[in-house]
Amino acid sequence: MKGEIKLQGQKVVDVYGTYMGYMDFSGLRYFDGREIYKYVSKIAPQQKLLQSDSLYRLDALSLENGNIKEA
């Protein structure tokens, strides 16, 4: 995605990224989906998650533990 934010018809900020990956505003990264797991892993143990939650996927857990073959 590429776009811009305007204020009263004047461009204020360039926007570039993807809604699932990252978002840059005028060249500064404000969101990076690859970084979200650092925060999710700290929050999740405190919450009651369903057993079907994607955080419990065996392939993802194996990959996180470095077992690529099993993942």
The string of DSSP letters for 9-69 reads TEEEEEEEEETTTEEEETTEEEEEGGGHHHHHHHHGGGS---TT-GGG-HHHHHHHTT-TT
Q: Per the domain annotation, does 59 fall within a domain?
A: yes
| Tally of domains within the chain | 1
Q: Per the domain annotation, does 34 fall within a domain?
A: yes
Contact 5, 12 (CB under 8 A): yes
Q: Per the domain annotation, does 21 fall within a domain?
A: yes
Q: Per the domain annotation, does 69 fall within a domain?
A: no
Q: Per the domain annotation, does 32 fall within a domain?
A: yes
Q: Per the domain annotation, does 23 fall within a domain?
A: yes
Looking at residue 51, its pLDDT comes to 75
Q: Per the domain annotation, does 71 fall within a domain?
A: no
What is the domain range of residue 14?
Answer: 2-64
pLDDT over threshold 90, residue 9? yes
Looking at residue 57, its pLDDT comes to 83
pLDDT over threshold 70, residue 24? yes
How far is C-alpha 66 from the chain's CA centre?
Answer: 20
pTM: 0.47
